[in-house]
């Protein structure tokens, strides 16, 4: 029996409408997801570009820091340089005046180096310390205890708690 009612819906047509509705809903969801994906890609590209810019800035800043790391120290050394140059320019100075000038210049140099973390190692009459001293000779001595530094051939230096150069010393032998 067939239904001839013009207002009645065809079951096959209802299925088509349902499929079309599902398709339209999926297409809309796909469009939303594609838009979100495009937005996420754009965000990732921008963040990648920002990271690359930060990396370049950091590299440039590090290069500048390396190039000018000694700027303060060298600026502090300029008065010492000037003192040496003035001493050499004075052709009429006698030995005593030159010596006094050299002593003052050495004091300037010691002040600059100590303010920049350099400490003098002068271990005369102190116990031998292999971490800061290098024994270049051993001598007999009745006046000093064994392993005592009795002569400093060359002073050593420590920079910010790190040995820069050991002091070259003569040490009393163990008997």
In order, the DSSP letters of 27-89 are: HHHHHHHHHHHHHHHHHHHHHHHHHHHHHHHHHHHHHHHHHTTTHHHHHHHHHHHHHHHHHHH
Q: Is residue 34 situated within a structural domain?
A: yes
Q: Is residue 65 situated within a structural domain?
A: yes
Give 171: exposed, middle or buried? Use CB within 10 Å, 0-12, 13-18, 19+. buried
Q: Is residue 90 situated within a structural domain?
A: yes
Residue 3 has pLDDT above 60, yes or no: no
Residue 4 has pLDDT above 60, yes or no: no
Q: Give the closest residue to 171 by CA, choosing from 144, 154, 148, 155.
A: 148
Query: What are the structure tokens assigned to 83, written together?
Result: 């003192």
Q: Is residue 1 situated within a structural domain?
A: no
Same-domain pairing of 122 and 175: yes
Please write the tens of the pLDDT for every residue from 58-109. Answer: 999 999 999 888 899 999 999 999 999 999 898 888 999 999 999 999 999 9
Q: Is residue 81 situated within a structural domain?
A: yes
Number of structural domains (the chain) is 3
* 22/30 Cα distance (integer angstroms): 12
Q: Is residue 77 situated within a structural domain?
A: yes
Q: Is residue 5 situated within a structural domain?
A: no
Same-domain pairing of 128 and 174: yes
Is residue 159 a contact partner of residue 114, using CB atoms and an 8 Å limit? no
**Residue 170 belongs to a domain with what CATH number?**
2.30.22.10
> pTM here?
0.62
Q: Is residue 44 situated within a structural domain?
A: yes
Same-domain pairing of 60 and 98: no
Residue 5 has pLDDT above 70, yes or no: no
* 26/21 Cα distance (integer angstroms): 9
The pLDDT-based confidence of 174 (bands split at 50, 70, 90) is: confident
Same-domain pairing of 124 and 175: yes
Same-domain pairing of 85 and 138: no
Residue 145's domain comprises 118-175
Same-domain pairing of 103 and 133: no
**What does DSSP assign to residue 127?**
B
pLDDT at 18: 83
pLDDT, the chain, mean:
90
Residue 10 has pLDDT above 60, yes or no: no
């Amino acid at each position: 029996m067939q239904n001839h009612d013009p207002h009645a819906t065809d079951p096959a047509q209802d299925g088509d409408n349902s499929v079309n509705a599902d398709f339209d809903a999926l297409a809309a969801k796909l469009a939303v997801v594609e838009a979100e994906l495009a937005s996420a890609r754009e965000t990732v590209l921008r963040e990648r570009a920002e990271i690359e810019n930060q990396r370049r800035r950091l590299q440039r800043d590090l290069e500048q820091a390396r190039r000018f790391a000694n700027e303060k120290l060298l600026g502090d050394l300029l008065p010492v340089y000037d003192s040496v140059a003035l001493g050499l320019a004075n052709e009429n100075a006698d030995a005593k005046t030159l010596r006094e000038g050299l002593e003052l210049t050495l004091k300037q140099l010691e002040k600059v180096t100590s303010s920049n973390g350099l400490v003098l190692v002068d271990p005369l009459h102190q116990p031998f310390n292999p971490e800061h001293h290098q024994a270049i000779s051993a001598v007999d001595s009745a006046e000093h205890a064994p392993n005592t530094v009795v002569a400093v051939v060359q002073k050593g230096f420590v920079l910010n708690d790190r040995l820069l150069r050991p002091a070259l010393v003569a040490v009393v032998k163990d008997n």
